[in-house]
Structure 1
Amino acid sequence: MASENELQAMSRAVTAARTVARALPNPRVGCVLLDAQGEQIAVGVHQGAGNPHAEVEALTIAGEAARGATAVVTLEPCSHTGRTGPCVDALIEAGVSRVVFAQTDPDPQARGGATRLADAGIDVEGGVLAEEAEQINVEWTFATTEGRPFVTWKYAATMDGLSAAPDGSSKWITSAEARRDVQTFRAAADAIMAGTGAVLADDPRLTVRDTEDLPLPYAQQPLRVVVGETHIPNYYRVFDRVAPTLLIQTREPDEVLTKLYEQGIKHVWLEGGPRLAGGFWNAGLVDRVIGYIAPAMLGSGRAALEGEAATLADIRPITLHDVSMVGPDIRIIGTPGRAPREEMP
Structure 2
Amino acid sequence: MCVLILVWKVVIRCKPDMKGTVRYLAGIAGQSGYGSKSTAEQVTEHCSSLPPNLTAIVTGATSGIGAETARVLAKRGVRIVIPARDLRKAAQVKENIQKEHPKAEIIILEIDLSSFASIKKFCSEFLFLGLPLNILINNAGKFSQKLEFSEDKFEMTFATNYLGHFLLTELLLEKMIETATQTGVQGRIVNVSSVIHGWVNKDHFSFNRMLQPKYYNATRAYAQSKLANIMHANEIARQIKERNANVTINAVHPGIVKTGIIRDHKGVITDSLFFVASKLLKSTSQGASTTCYVALNSKTEGMSGRYFVDCNESRCSTLANDDSEAHKLWKQTRALIHKRLRAN
TM-score if structure 2 supplies the norm length?
0.32
Structure number with higher relative contact order (C-alpha < 8 Å, ≥ 6 residues apart): 2
Q: Which protein is bigger by CA-based radius of gyration?
A: 1
Judging by fraction of residues, say which structure has more helix: 2
